[in-house]
Amino acid sequence: MKPDAFLALEDGTVYRGHSCGAPVDRLGEVVFNTGMTGYEEVLTDPSYAGQIVTFTVPELGNTGFNRADRESAAIHASGMICRDLNPPSSWRSEEPLSDVLRRAGIPAISGIDTRSLTLRLRSGGTLKARICCSGSEPPETAIAAARAWTGLDGQDYASAVTCPAPYDWPLAPEPPAPQALPDGFAGAPAPSTSPLVAVLDFGVKYNTLRALAALGARVRVFPAKTPAADILAARPDGVLLSNGPADPAALPYAVQTIRALLGKLPIMGICLGHQLLAITLGAKTARLPFGHHGCNHPVKNLTDGTVEITSQNHNFVVVEDTLDPAIAQITHRSLNDGSVEGLAAPALRAFSLQYHPEAAPGPHDASSSFHRFLRTIRP
């Protein structure tokens, strides 16, 4: 079959393949995800907004797509790259992945040499690109567009993926799917005596909300730009700073809110929330060469010496020597590159993790972090 789509990188490289999503063209930063499964959760993770995700697993699509596995109400990735896209063969599938991508307006290409693309990103770093599936744009134009695009540095994507208004979790139930129930969408609310966790939504994943609710907490989600006064007015027992996309340095409003909450309530940060907490504490953030994307990243807990296999998706990281040890201590470190993966400010009742303890997709090694947070709220 003749190639009908291509990926144009800012360095001038063009990869040709077959369109398996929407017939449109999109700009984005190309990253590679090393997870062997979980493409549904990855594509619906708001943290991937602005990114074209390359899956290193050679075959994709076998489990189809179903509402029970999604991590938000939409596909947030700018595009998808894979080697082979298969029709679904799982009893849980509600529809093929390609149909979902087309309906969502997300371009995707199969037939790409993903090993070559991954090695290029691994050796040269993350690249801006244009994924072209419309058939109307020549490669030279696409390369020029990729080079001219602003990228994700200095960009606030959290404002685009956050919720429009506060809401309580669990959500109202959706109609049952033909073969699988929408797990986590419906459920009895926690008793009014349960601790209330205010979640600042910078791109929160459903499984974070599920994890808190499963431990008996009441959960209320707030838009990213909610002032601290409005959060305090809800009288929460603790605040969770969620994951999210793009550059933490582009969210000064979030730092202002966190600064007003620090010391007044227990705080837990995840991924982007971790970076925002660090900035609030005086640290700086910087780009990693090609980021951490996958569900097999080893992290060492420096407080007890244990090692956790974690799920991660981030391009930015806390710069270690900008963190004041008199205010916060590093608690976790990546065993792949030594970067900061967790910190704690005990005097302020705050801690954060660079990785995703909700593990969707991924291992459950870090799920106890939510227990730790709730113990901080109610010892």
Q: Which residues are catalytic?
A: 271, 356, 358
90-94-99-100 Cα dihedral, nearest 10 degrees: -110
Cross-strand partners of 334: 299
Q: Distance (Å, rounded) from C-alpha 276 to C-alpha 283?
A: 9
Q: Distance (Å, rounded) from C-alpha 305 to C-alpha 167?
A: 39
Cross-strand partners of 199: 221, 240
Question: What are the start-end ranges of the E strands in the chain?
Answer: 5-9, 14-19, 25-33, 51-55, 59-60, 79-81, 84-85, 108-110, 127-132, 167-169, 196-201, 218-223, 238-241, 267-270, 285-301, 307-318, 329-334, 340-345, 350-353
**Peptide bond connecting 361 to the previous residue in cis, omega within 30 degrees of 0:** yes
272-278-279-283 Cα dihedral, nearest 10 degrees: -130
Please name which of 284, 293, 309 lies closest in space to residue 363, comparing C-alpha atoms: 309
